[in-house]
Structure 1
Amino acid sequence: MTIGQQAHRSTTLFSVSAGKAPTDDFSADMLKALASRPRYLSPKHFYDEQGSSLFDQICELPEYYPTRAELSLLKLHAQEIAEFLGKDVEIVEFGAGSQQKIQLLLDAMDTPHCYVPIDISGSHLAAAAETLQRRYPELDVRPVVGDYTSPLRLPAMHRNCDRRVGFFPGSTIGNLCPSEALTFLKQARHLLRGGGLLLGVDLIKDPAILHAAYNDSQGVTAAFNRNVLIRANRELDANFEINAFAHSAFFNAPLQRVEMHLMSLRSQRVRVCDQTFSFAQGETLHTENSHKYTVDGLRSMAVKTGFELGPVWTDAQNQFCLCWLQIPF
């Protein structure tokens, strides 16, 4: 895609939250998590402005291989991937983040007319969308604030587009449990009628590599994990003592996933939204899963959700892959 010289368009944030503030979801989910056993909080709540910034830092860490592996695959295969994406398309990115990776695709694609980035963090999304709009002034950028794991209604497809295709990078699908991943893919298939989905997936590998990636030496992942407690103190009138919770991340081999937890270092009571909850020493709040896949597992998941597994591009170390899920005609 050629970068134009004209003045850039302004971007407008669309919301698909049906009038419900993100804090409403956060408070309800946090209270439900604290009252449950075991305690589990959706990782989508990591991504306030500070959490999104910390995740961007994680992606630059030497131990965190997924971003480097995915970027190298995009650089190496962008032209080939662009052939599958097609021309005159609208491209939807689920969990857009900093939008670094989409630029490699846009530069290789033939006349993409519209880009729809979806992210739960409105301020982070708005800033990234404005930057992208300046880089591609002829592209219609339509950022959508919303939770892509829930049913979505997107703006009407761009008038110059023949079909809508999707991009879901970063192995973010690994944050979903198997049933949630199937539900997401079914919903994506409905949104992307006539197109397909380019999916970034982290593959099963040596647990030592996984341990290092989620327990970096600089402590950025630990700060990212604890930030959800800082957010609760700020937004939910909570009184979490941040240093009383330790970051714990490990590979659960039987379930083929990395788990992240916040472990209570002592017996304590915490207040959230005027409710009080007790933590025993060693008890955890489970904050994230990151499932790892095999290519056979991806093929099975594609079939169950009405896709066909097309080409799969893997890095030299077979750590990460990009796969094309085609919607059958």
Structure 2
Amino acid sequence: MKPGLDWRQPRASAENEQFAADLHAALSRSPKAISPKYFYDETGSRLFEQICELPEYYPTRTELALLQTHARDMAAQFGPQVQLVEYGAGALRKVRLLLDAMPLDAVQFVPVDISGPHLLAACDGLAADYPGLAIQPLVADFTRPHTLPPCSAGTRRVGFFPGSSIGNFTPAEADAFLRLAANELAGGGLLIGIDLVKDHDVLHAAYNDAAGVTAAFNLNVLTRARDELGAEFPADGFAHLAFYNPAYCRIEMHLQARRPLALRLGGETYGFNEGETLHTEHSHKYTVDGFQALAARAGFRPGKVWTDENGWFAVLWLEAACAE
């Protein structure tokens, strides 16, 4: 952030319209399914930060340990002058470990996130702790067309996508995002976290925590629909459901109807049978070789890899070819 710059901006007036349109579409299809991006309003973002602290949820602490141990080696891949773009930036916790390993006068930081209030509050804290850092937040859906600030001469654009969020994409969506990233990071690269294939019991526990925080996070999609869109449904009508689907190497999260019920939205009524679900998220688990092959098809060249001793998580460096 430049001193004295007020980066705050109103949320797009079309945001609720898009949510309503996507929810109508989700409820009309069979099976019912909606994008996990609608988890992340201010409440959802806060709940996710709580999930990251849970004893069952290994990805955050495992990735943080990798960043703490290898941040200098990771930053060494970037080059001397960097525009660092964090996709799905959230609370800006992990990027601090990279920033601590970099000369701040050589970094322009562009955090991108769909949850404006949560992102801008996190930027306030980052600016206070890193007064020499140039911060230009972008409130946007990074999976859709967006415009990043221009790079100055001699600056490489480097992406940072931690948290294994790429696993929330379908294979087609992952390919589309990686192609988009390869294009806008041309001449630079992408540092990305991926969750690896592992024991199913470990995965199950991570998405069914004893405290019920993940359940609250999942159900918040319906809370948003009620509060923001005026949706009507029984308050106790849905339950959190999460399980590992070995056929797709992924965890699936659903909102499951406890009994036959109706959900009303914008003059339309959508029926649920008992046990029927609204699929809210999936989290694909990868092998390192498999993900590198996916990235290579999208235009990246595989680079260094850092993994924990259990082989549960990996952080990969991917080089993006220069634009032709």
- TM-score class, shorter-chain normalisation, is over 0.9
Identity of aligned residues (%): 52
Q: SS of the counterpart of 1:235?
A: helix
How far, CA to CA, are the matches of 2:204 and 2:124 in structure 1?
36
How far, CA to CA, are the matches of 1:152 and 1:308 in structure 2?
24
> Offset of 1:11 from its aligned partner?
4.9
Task: Answer yes or no: is 1:266 the counterpart of 2:262.
Answer: no
Residue aligning to 1:99: 92
Q: SS of the counterpart of 2:71?
A: helix
> Offset of 1:241 from its aligned partner?
2.3
How far, CA to CA, are the matches of 1:295 and 1:189 in structure 2?
18
Task: Answer yes or no: is 1:149 the counterpart of 2:164.
Answer: no
Task: Answer yes or no: is 1:178 the counterpart of 2:168.
Answer: no
> Offset of 1:9 from its aligned partner?
5.0
* Paired AA for residue 12 in structure 1: W
Q: SS of the counterpart of 1:242?
A: coil
* Paired AA for residue 186 in structure 2: R
Q: Cα distance 1:93–1:13, how it changes in 2: closer, same or farther (>3 A)?
A: farther
> Offset of 1:28 from its aligned partner?
0.6
Residue aligning to 2:275: 282
Residue aligning to 1:316: 309
Which of 7, 16, 25 in structure 2 is aligned with 1:12?
7
The question of whether the paired residues in 1 share the 8 Å contact of 2:258 and 2:274 is answered with yes
Which of 101, 118, 124 in structure 2 is aligned with 1:124?
118
> Offset of 1:156 from its aligned partner?
1.9
Gaps of 5+ in 2: none
> Offset of 1:193 from its aligned partner?
1.7
The question of whether the paired residues in 2 share the 8 Å contact of 1:257 and 1:292 is answered with yes
How far, CA to CA, are the matches of 1:47 and 1:250 in structure 2?
21
Residue aligning to 1:296: 289
> Offset of 1:160 from its aligned partner?
6.4
TM-score scaled to structure 2, two decimals? 0.95
The question of whether the paired residues in 2 share the 8 Å contact of 1:225 and 1:262 is answered with yes
Residue aligning to 1:137: 131
Which runs of structure 2 are paired with 1:25-174 in the superposition (5 Å)?
A: 25-110=18-103, 111-157=105-151, 159=152, 162-174=155-167
Question: Is 186-195 or 204-213 further displaced after alignment?
Answer: 186-195
Residue aligning to 1:3: none
1:152-199 Cα shifts (integer Å, max 9, x gaps): 211222x36611100000000000000100110110111112100000
Q: SS of the counterpart of 2:236?
A: helix
TM-score scaled to structure 1, two decimals? 0.94
The question of whether the paired residues in 2 share the 8 Å contact of 1:91 and 1:115 is answered with yes
Q: Cα distance 1:280–1:230, how it changes in 2: closer, same or farther (>3 A)?
A: same
The question of whether the paired residues in 2 share the 8 Å contact of 1:13 and 1:143 is answered with no
How far, CA to CA, are the matches of 1:20 and 1:259 in structure 2?
31
How far, CA to CA, are the matches of 1:306 and 1:180 in structure 2?
15
> Offset of 1:243 from its aligned partner?
1.9
Gaps of 5+ in 1: 1-6
How far, CA to CA, are the matches of 1:215 and 1:112 in structure 2?
42
The question of whether the paired residues in 2 share the 8 Å contact of 1:251 and 1:257 is answered with yes
The question of whether the paired residues in 1 share the 8 Å contact of 2:186 and 2:321 is answered with no
Q: SS of the counterpart of 2:100?
A: helix
Q: SS of the counterpart of 2:50?
A: helix
> Offset of 1:10 from its aligned partner?
3.8
> Offset of 1:254 from its aligned partner?
1.0
The question of whether the paired residues in 1 share the 8 Å contact of 2:78 and 2:156 is answered with no
Residue aligning to 1:210: 203
Residues paired across the two proteins, number: 320
How far, CA to CA, are the matches of 2:215 and 2:290 in structure 1?
30
Q: SS of the counterpart of 2:94?
A: helix
Residue aligning to 1:244: 237
1:268-306 Cα shifts (integer Å, max 9, x gaps): 111112211111101000000100000111121121011
1:212-250 Cα shifts (integer Å, max 9, x gaps): 000000000000000110000001111122321110000
The question of whether the paired residues in 2 share the 8 Å contact of 1:11 and 1:141 is answered with no
Q: Cα distance 1:209–1:11, how it changes in 2: closer, same or farther (>3 A)?
A: farther
